[in-house]
Amino acid sequence: GGAGAGPEGAQGGEGGADLAYAVRRLVRGAQSSRRCCRQGFSLALAELLAAFPGELAGVLQLARQLTDLQTGLKSMEQKERLVGRLCVYAAVFEAGCLRKLLGGDAAAPQGLTGRRGATGVVCELGRGLHELYLARPFLQEPAVRMLTHACQELCAMGRSSWVPELLAEWSLDEKLGKAGAAMHVPGLALELRSAYEGARQAPSATAKALATWPVCVRDGGALAQPAALEHLARGLGAALGACGLGEPLPAALRPFCRRLLCGEGSATPAGVWPALDEALFPERAPQASQAQGLRALGEVVAHLCAERAQLGDAAAAVLVGFFEQMHRGLRLMLRALAWPRASPHAAAAFAQGRMLEALDAAPPPPRPQRPS
């Protein structure tokens, strides 16, 4: 009955009941690990939210209710509920609900009443992502990626004053102050630093709106300390070394490279490259790990070049430091290149190609053959 109705007409009567049933069914289906059910239900939920963005608050509340980790659940059941909630949040971002409901799309119907309703949605989204982050290690990366995307979207809409409410549950200043903070935390803070700089330059930005952002984002805080970047380099190196072929790279890699190139008035701390070098190429590592490290080495160079293309050549000294201080990686790469039958040879050739691109250098010409 409600399939052809608009958002306004679907809120009451038979259409409203159909819509409520569909939302509940799709949120439940996103928890199923059977074949491709989770992907299909998540995609359908994204399409529903794109058509009815006013259902966002109800979807978030329903996701919390249906994915609650009750006492007595088996480990697999807990995992299915957590991944189901993650898929619901992915559908929310795919549908562009924040942009449509919080002022980015003037043609969209307003499903939230005033600032209070919008604040509730933003806070619930940040709280839910933080719960996922704390629940399982494998959920940390996607939770941070989604949170970063949400913050960037709010800033793009001129709603930078709502970012602190989205981050309220995360306590970034407290997390960064603790010894051994996870790699995702400083990476998130660095990514938010870029969003903060962009928000400051926006015409609608006010000092009051930006004053409640985390201190580590506004003033650099713990990120200004060389030890923080060295810690991030070690964690990033370990994550890159464990990243299999075809798997997405850690989200912290991009802001890490940007921070090194920008420098914000300071040179690259002396211990950053050695810390990354030791993490990527530990002593007596097996050849499979060496190949992973060489592939990661090439990806680091590629990201440095991509960021340098956007930021200019003023930070060329960063690449000089890379080539001067990544002793283990460069030595292993040259050794593997000299032995074509070595297991890491293909990865070494990949890293070499990335470095040649970074230096805008052509590959070496083939050796001329001796006349017979």
User: Which CATH number characterizes residue 306's domain?
Assistant: 1.25.40
Q: Look at residue 370 and tell me if it is in a domain.
A: no
Terminal-residue alpha carbon distance, the chain: 85
**pLDDT > 70? residue 230:** yes
**pLDDT > 90? residue 219:** no
CA 22 – CA 233 distance, rounded (Å): 46
Query: Do 324 and 230 lie in a common domain?
Result: yes
Q: Look at residue 285 and tell me if it is in a domain.
A: yes
Q: Look at residue 232 and tell me if it is in a domain.
A: yes
Tokens of 153: 């979207």
Query: Do 63 and 139 lie in a common domain?
Result: yes
**pLDDT > 80? residue 255:** yes
Summarize pLDDT for 22-75 with one digit per residue, the tens: 999 999 999 888 888 889 999 999 999 999 988 999 999 999 999 888 888 898
Average model confidence (pLDDT) across the chain: 82
Query: Do 26 and 165 lie in a common domain?
Result: yes
Q: How confident is the model at residue 106 (pLDDT cuts 50, 70, 90)?
A: very low
CA 121 – CA 110 distance, rounded (Å): 13
For the chain, the 3-state helix, strand and coil shares in percent, each to the nearest 5, are: 70, 0, 30
Summarize pLDDT for 137-189 with one digit per residue, the tens: 999 999 999 999 999 999 888 888 889 999 999 988 888 767 666 778 888 88
Q: Which candidate, 273, 251, 354, places its Cα nearest to that of 306? A: 354
Q: What mean pLDDT comes out for the span 81-110?
A: 78
Among 24-28, 242-246, 265-269, the minimum mean pLDDT is found in 265-269
Q: What mean pLDDT comes out for the span 101-108?
A: 54
Query: Do 128 and 265 lie in a common domain?
Result: no
Q: What mean pLDDT comes out for the span 304-315?
A: 68
Q: Look at residue 177 and tell me if it is in a domain.
A: no
pLDDT at 370: 54
CA 126 – CA 233 distance, rounded (Å): 27
pLDDT at 209: 79
pLDDT at 4: 40
Q: Which candidate, 346, 340, 247, places its Cα nearest to that of 294? A: 346
Tokens of 107: 């043609």
pLDDT at 8: 42
Number of domains present in the structure of the chain: 2
Q: Look at residue 314 and tell me if it is in a domain.
A: yes
Query: Do 26 and 161 lie in a common domain?
Result: yes
Query: Do 229 and 348 lie in a common domain?
Result: yes
Q: What mean pLDDT comes out for the span 245-262?
A: 83
Query: Do 27 and 165 lie in a common domain?
Result: yes
Tell me which residue range forms the domain holding 329.
215-359
Summarize pLDDT for 352-365 with one digit per residue, the tens: 998 888 777 666 56
Q: Look at residue 196 and tell me if it is in a domain.
A: no
Q: Look at residue 179 and tell me if it is in a domain.
A: no
Query: Do 280 and 149 lie in a common domain?
Result: no
Do the Cβ atoms of 329 and 274 come closer than 8 Å? no
CA 3 – CA 18 distance, rounded (Å): 8
CA 358 – CA 337 distance, rounded (Å): 18
CA 319 – CA 162 distance, rounded (Å): 37
Query: Do 165 and 270 lie in a common domain?
Result: no
Q: How confident is the model at residue 304 (pLDDT cuts 50, 70, 90)?
A: confident
Tokens of 58: 């109800």
